[in-house]
Amino acid sequence: MSGGEAPEAGNAALTRRWQDVMMDNFGTPRLPLVRGRGTRVWDAEGNEYLDFVGGIAVNALGHAHPAVVRALSEQAASLGHVSNLFVAEPTVRLAERLLGLAGRRGRVYFSNSGAEAVEAAFKIGRLTGRTHMVAAAGGFHGRTMGALALTGQPAKQDPFRPLPGDVSHVPYGDVGALRAAVTARTALLVLEPLQGENGVIVPPPGYLRAAREITAATGTLLVLDEIQTGVGRTGHWFAAQAEGVEADVVTLAKGLGGGLPIGATLAFGPAAGLLTPGTHGSTFSGNPVVCAAALAVLDTIERTGVLGNVRRAGRRLRHALEGPDHPLVREVRGAGLLLGVVLDGTHAARVQRAAQERGLLVNAVAADVVRLAPPLTVSDREVEVFLDGFGAALAEVLEEGRRAA
């Protein structure tokens, strides 16, 4: 297409344009989207969808939330990027706010993504003077090289070996395996409070508390990856708060920016002092415009009672989907509005497709698991609309299976 030609319109045309110019690491996305408002999005042909993917748990307040739009506009009109050579007030205020939500004294490093937040934690671990690290099989911490070394998914790791670091992976939820692996030579143990990308896996009660006790006994840093679970996604500011567990390092991203790219690494106690001048950095660290958006997200969640809505909507979804009307559903895992609908068989891709045909966007995160991560502001009415359509999609796939048998 030359500079003077109008771009092709429509879903097929926009998809072809993607295929012509984009690297193929994502494959071809299933649907081109051009507009969003709240929990709704529209494709290039004007079809409307109820979005229960939420940018993979990113759009905490939905699409085009007025508070985020206003914060972005006002900050961009005032002070944009200044780099880490200068101080910007929104950056300082966001760090203060995150530490306040954690209820602890500490320090914050801002980055541009969850993977970068984990990379900072990886470096903090190295600065302890120890090199061994422990992570959980099935865990996902990002795709940059350090984060990938901690990710416990061999299919993602194998093309890029050898990976940095001396990392041991242990079964998730197994306290005995933690006790055997974490020793006085272990720099850090990194865990997700629940494993989002692995099919929304929830550990047994007391697992995080045991991890805290084990790491405290060995002088190991406990790193909790709250990139997917943090910022209210489970009905708490941080998922670990439900068990009263305080980590040495917490990583955040996804919902923090409400759709804007930002990561944060929070460190407490001795870990907070390990990054010193020259040990780490990023040109875009603490960008004022993105920090202003993140502050708007936090303000809105707190001011409008969003955490209560997360707990209420999550309970409604779980109760309805685990009921007798849905025989294809084996169980529903997760917390708040991060839920994994576990199916009786490897039907997730077909359920995802049937739901989309009914105007619902969901994520087949595993062969037998459909992940739900709608905006935290989803209304009671939207939950009911979703349940009606998703129930019909489940029934269709169940009937297809019966006919095929």
Residues recognised as catalytic: 140, 225, 254
Say whether 83 counts as a known binding-site residue: no
Q: In angstroms, rounded to a whole number, what is the distance separating the alpha carbons of residues 133 and 81?
A: 35
- Peptide bond preceding 7 in cis form (omega within 30 of 0): no
* Cα distance between residue 372 and residue 326, in whole Å: 16
Characterize 290-312 residue by residue with b for buried, 16 or more Cβ atoms within 10 angstroms of its Cβ, and e for exposed.
bbbbbbbbbebbeeeebbebbbe
Evaluated on CA atoms 194, 200, 206, 211, the torsion sign reads negative
Between strands 249-252 and 221-225, the pairing is parallel
Residue 352, annotated ligand binder? no
- For the sheet containing 263-268, what is the strand order? 106-111, 263-268, 249-252, 221-225, 186-191, 132-136, 166-170
Determine the length of the chain: 405
Q: Please check if 225 is assigned to a binding site.
A: yes
Residue 330 annotated in ligand binding: no
To the question of whether residue 24 is assigned a binding role by annotation, the answer is no
CA angle 139, 150, 118 (to 5 degrees): 95
**Residue whose tokens read 């760090």:** 95
Q: Is 228 a known ligand-binding residue?
A: yes
Q: CA–CA separation, 102 vs 118, rounded Å?
A: 18
38 labelled as ligand-binding? no
Residue 143 assigned to a binding site: yes
- 282 among the known binding-site residues? yes
Question: What are the helix (H) ranges across 151-287?
Answer: 154-157, 175-181, 207-218
DSSP letters spanning 253-304: -GGGGTTS--EEEEEEGGGGGS--TTS---TTTT-HHHHHHHHHHHHHHHHT
Residue 314 CA from chain centroid, whole number: 17
- CA-to-CA distance for 339 and 321, rounded, in angstroms? 11
Contact (Cβ atoms closer than 8 angstroms) between residue 253 and residue 85: no
227 is in an annotated binding site: yes
Q: Report the binding-site residues.
A: 114-115, 140, 143, 225-228, 282-283
Q: Report the binding-site residues for pyridoxal 5'-phosphate.
A: 114-115, 140, 225-228, 283
Q: Report the binding-site residues for N(2)-acetyl-L-ornithine.
A: 143, 282
